[in-house]
Amino acid sequence: MGKSILIIEDEAKIVRTLRLYLEQAGYSVVPAADGAQGLAAFRHAEPALVLLDLNLPGSLDGLDVCRTIRRESQVPVIMLTARGEENDRIAGLEIGADDYIPKPFSPREVVARIRAVLRRTQLADEVPQVVEAAGIRLDLDRRTALLNGTEIELTAAEFDLLAVLMRHPGRVFTRAQLLDATRGEAYEGFERSIDQHVKNLRHKLETDPRHPRYILTVYGAGYKFAREDT
């Protein structure tokens, strides 16, 4: 089954239709008929996206549900809104809903909007523009490095090597893995070249390069970036 979509909607006919179209499009569907059920299902199923009817029976309306979800998660929320709910629509967007679809809607349109929202949020997730740890800040777009707020000059290979290590603090990388991760830059492609890059990086980053605090040697294995809690 594909990504799961939570539908919080009390009109069974709408749920049935959406379910049919969404399952055809490769999603799995978790239905909930009121706000309380919806929040329970949200916490239990961890859906990739929530379709949320604003006008729900029971003590929690759609805006209450949206507000609670936002306090707990950045999951995309698309509101389903009826005529006369224009103010609620705006309120919903203000408390963090990602989009709304006015009723009546075509199920195809709903599937297309879900795809678009998921694509947008995935892109934002997958491409962190900045990596930051222990006073070092790498801007991956501009390829600049700051150490405690001061810019330091790194070669392309040094930058790539440091970025790989910093993305996974505490994880040990072998020289071969580091070489793979930094390939594409014009420098000597043998494993010992990694040692030279690390040496250069230490001279640029460390107060005492012989007792490094950032890039640590793991004897017989490779290198790792120090975790801040160790």
* Cβ 156 to Ca ion shortest distance, Å: 56
Q: Is 85 in the site for Ca ion (CB under 5 A)?
A: no
Q: Exposure of 90 by Cβ count < 10 A (0-12 exposed, 13-18 middle, 19+ buried)?
A: exposed
Q: Is 200 in the site for Ca ion (CB under 5 A)?
A: no
Residue closer to Ca ion by CB (options 79, 162) is: 79
Q: Any idea what the Cα angle at residue 80 is, between residues 63 and 15, rounded to 5°?
A: 115
DSSP H or E stretch at residue 119 = helix 107-126
* Cβ 11 to Ca ion shortest distance, Å: 6
* Cβ 157 to Ca ion shortest distance, Å: 58
Structure tokens at 66: 């949206």
Q: Is 64 in the site for Ca ion (CB under 5 A)?
A: no
Options 10, 61, 64, 191; binder of Ca ion; rule CB under 5 A: 10
Residue closer to Ca ion by CB (options 53, 158) is: 53
C-alpha dihedral, 42 to 46 to 48 to 50, nearest 10°:
0
Q: Is 88 in the site for Ca ion (CB under 5 A)?
A: no
Question: E strands, 9-128, where?
Answer: 28-32, 49-53, 77-81, 99-102
Residue whose Cβ sits closest to Ca ion: 55
- Part of the chain binding Ca ion (CB under 5 A), chosen from 6-14, 67-75, 117-125, 164-172: 6-14
* Cβ 53 to Ca ion shortest distance, Å: 4
- Part of the chain binding Ca ion (CB under 5 A), chosen from 2-10, 17-25, 94-102, 134-142: 2-10
Residue 30's closest CA among 13, 11, 57, 49? 49
Residue closer to Ca ion by CB (options 10, 99) is: 10
Options 19, 30, 53, 111; binder of Ca ion; rule CB under 5 A: 53
Q: Is 34 in the site for Ca ion (CB under 5 A)?
A: no
Residue 7's closest CA among 74, 101, 72, 89? 101
Cα–Cα distance between 20 and 32 in angstroms, integer? 15
3-state secondary structure of 103: coil
The footprint of Ca ion (CB under 5 A) covers 10, 53, 55
